[in-house]
Structure 1
């Protein structure tokens, strides 16, 4: 019985995949023809979330944007529209996202206040915990506090969307990576065990393994055996549809056909790994990896994520991407110690150039994901219209700082956010001082990050008004302390 249920579930997922590929009959959502939803019990397309997480922050002066009339004071809030800016007017790191500027919200000036107030822990780990859980670290590894106290927001949203749609399986969220990690300080996803403790949720870095999870049991399956005929059958249906479509929808259909062709090539490559020597060798525990591995894994994982989201197998996808191979950034050696830690303001130009290239590479990853989702038609628009992409890091800069953290959202037109804007949050918050560490410098820092997560959780259907910690204690210059609230949504996101 269990085997039959597994085969039935597998067949359903493959049918959904083929439908999204344009070979399932009534699967493409185009305005000029009437079609019914192919998955899920709810009316209209569901909202999805994609999270990109990279390490070491950015070189801030290469990330931030200012206009000639922008206030000079760091303590002032301001904003400006992105739509009318040329790519040359974007910062070097954000320039790869220029094509998506109308859907962007750049959040400049947020602070990881819980990381600042946590009295004990590795700077990277505290940043991971704040960015993903809005809370302190809890568990220790090698005598350093580094693991989560409470679940990460992607896993909380997973439970929210599963409650909305009973047809979603445990694949409602996908945890992907590009490069393997050692599993100590660097962990993005946390769920809850039966006793209520936060535990690591593993992420998948091998495209072949990711494919077999999404579309299992292909051996002996007539659908899998017919994969080589998918494009031919799709082409025939495309030709039948074309005369019935508006010119705008014909263009969308051509874009979708190109996307599916690329995905089909990758799927066939991944399937060949089952019976031939793997192209991707298992990670051996070292930190060395190549541009060839990066250039294979990244687009393959993004394609699989796009298929899972468009087929409505998954609603949440998180990417733990890491730094691209150092030679791709124009450097040599170890990025962490040779460049990130050496990139304080006034650093040597060669350090700045490599750290800037790292930020731009991650922006390119986000742009590629947005491109793919924007090319998939859905109910009068595209999958990107019904998606929130969040790009974050555990640090503001490579110097283990947690103030002025780089945050970018790309949000589709069917999300509640007012996009196409650069939002600057002034440094007006009293700096949290960790308990027992009075040597920390006093001063003013950016505004709380936690409300951003509350806004995203509520956009995805949650009702909670806080995430992680509800408050921290801050100290004004001169010694006066105040309780800093972290609850509620981020009002400026809504225009």
Structure 2
């Protein structure tokens, strides 16, 4: 079926969605990968778990998701002590690139020296398939006093990919611009621009495809409504430039922190569900996060300040709050059906990470949790210990699991070997490795 030029003009998402549903592609669920970063380490005494059945206070929000969860214990983020730049920033660059950053001649700003793992995956056509958007980079707060601190993704040496803070701008990239600034009755859905195409397409589809199309369209409209609600706190480009000097705007971003984060994650869910992208990164903010007053009962200090203040109860509450947000999102994936009859969570790998163990700059045993079934490559309900291994080894193991046979990731001297038994090895078209009923 041909999509009208008007429909194509609206945005990548709406047109691509119709084209993909109308195609005769086999209904095989692709693997999706989402990397979720929260800044400034953790509180080890309230994070470390005795077992998957005895989760710590910080990990407790995942209790009902433990069958879909793997806690990876013992990994080192091998940031070298002589690395140029600030310790937190270097931890962030090393974690996803597996290599130390560099400083361009005459610059005081450290830059990533390699492509990050998400971009290595995004360059693999066996992973991205025919998804029209290679990857998404999103953030709930982009304040930070160095550019490097705001970008956790990199396409290569000195090629940072800054994350999009505005949920509206991110939505526009995927589905086309929203008609904001109107009353709810006047707001026009992007799907209205493809109404004629939809009317022609639906009678031609088998019943199963019609039901799938209806689910996708409902999901898109739901996310549109989220974006309209976020519009009241989303800064215009000129306002963004004034943000550092505008206290009122800073306060608005603080109080909207959860709302902005949820909007971005909802967008990722729909983009995954509609197979518009298969790779995404999301960060709650850089290590220098200036967000404050967003956790009930914790006020007066930013997250970064708390990571150095020794206020264990307050810092624990912040880390638990971030996990509560992620747990709520994972539940939406668990109840989102996928094209193969399983769920989006079954066919997605979500990696939750932070750049260091503690805010006082320790890099041993950094917190890492994996969620989802990864399309049959990951069995949940486990706490696995890999002392003496690195985050480089984690990414090498993931790449091997998706058919990339490399033996090292990043700098060779930071590799110790594969994490045996973490992932089931398979080509991307094998979905029978981990036998488990679809999650509900």
TM-score range, shorter chain: 0.7 to 0.9
Task: Tell me which residue corresponds to 1:158.
Answer: 122
1:173 and 1:215 map into 2 onto residues whose CA distance is 14
Which of residues 16, 29, 36 is equivalent to 1:45? 29
| 1:6 Cα deviation after fit | 9.3
Q: Is the 8 A contact 2:272 2:278 kept in 1?
A: yes
Task: Tell me which residue corresponds to 1:465.
Answer: 407
TM-score with structure 1 length normalisation?
0.69
2:322 and 2:61 map into 1 onto residues whose CA distance is 9
Q: Is the 8 A contact 1:135 1:149 kept in 2?
A: yes
Q: Is the 8 A contact 2:31 2:127 kept in 1?
A: no
| 1:108 Cα deviation after fit | 1.6
Which of residues 402, 408, 426 is equivalent to 2:363? 402
Deviation string 1:163-210 (CA, Å, 9 cap, x unpaired) is 752x333x2200000012344341201113xxxx33111211111111
| 1:399 Cα deviation after fit | 0.3
Q: Is the 8 A contact 1:376 1:382 kept in 2?
A: yes
Which of residues 369, 376, 380 is equivalent to 1:415? 376
Task: Tell me which residue corresponds to 1:304.
Answer: 267
2:5 and 2:193 map into 1 onto residues whose CA distance is 23
Q: Is the 8 A contact 1:280 1:293 kept in 2?
A: no
Task: Tell me which residue corresponds to 1:56.
Answer: 40
CA gap 1:164/1:258 in 2 versus in 1, 3 angstroms: closer
2:326 and 2:103 map into 1 onto residues whose CA distance is 31
CA gap 1:268/1:222 in 2 versus in 1, 3 angstroms: closer
Matched, 1:383 2:344: yes
Name the SS for the 2:225 alignment partner: helix
TM-score with structure 2 length normalisation?
0.77
The 5-angstrom pairing of residues 51-130 of structure 1 reads: 51-66=35-50, 80=51, 82=52, 85=53, 89-113=54-78, 115-130=79-94
CA gap 1:354/1:140 in 2 versus in 1, 3 angstroms: farther
CA gap 1:300/1:102 in 2 versus in 1, 3 angstroms: same
Name the SS for the 1:127 alignment partner: helix
| 1:41 Cα deviation after fit | 5.0
| 1:116 Cα deviation after fit | 3.4
- Residue segments in structure 2 that go unaligned for 5+ positions in a row: 180-186, 425-440
Q: Over aligned residue pairs, what C-alpha RMSD do you find?
A: 3.8
2:272 and 2:120 map into 1 onto residues whose CA distance is 18
Task: Tell me which residue corresponds to 1:341.
Answer: 308
Name the SS for the 1:111 alignment partner: coil
Matched, 1:358 2:314: no
CA gap 1:307/1:257 in 2 versus in 1, 3 angstroms: closer
Matched, 1:491 2:433: no
Q: Is the 8 A contact 2:349 2:372 kept in 1?
A: yes
Number of matched pairs: 390
Task: Tell me which residue corresponds to 1:450.
Answer: 392
| 1:265 Cα deviation after fit | 2.2
1:371 and 1:253 map into 2 onto residues whose CA distance is 22
Deviates more, 1:199-208 or 1:176-185: 176-185
Name the SS for the 2:299 alignment partner: coil
Matched, 1:172 2:118: no
Which of residues 383, 393, 400 is equivalent to 2:354? 393
The 5-angstrom pairing of residues 141-220 of structure 1 reads: 144=108, 146-161=110-125, 165=129, 167-169=130-132, 171-182=133-144, 183-186=146-149, 187-192=151-156, 197-216=157-176
1:392 and 1:145 map into 2 onto residues whose CA distance is 24
Deviates more, 1:402-411 or 1:285-294: 285-294
Task: Tell me which residue corresponds to 1:346.
Answer: none
1:161 and 1:265 map into 2 onto residues whose CA distance is 33
Deviation string 1:63-109 (CA, Å, 9 cap, x unpaired) is 1112xxxxxxxxxxxxx5x3xx3xxx421111111121111110122
Matched, 1:280 2:234: yes
Q: Give the number of the structure whose residues are more often strand, by fraction.
A: 1
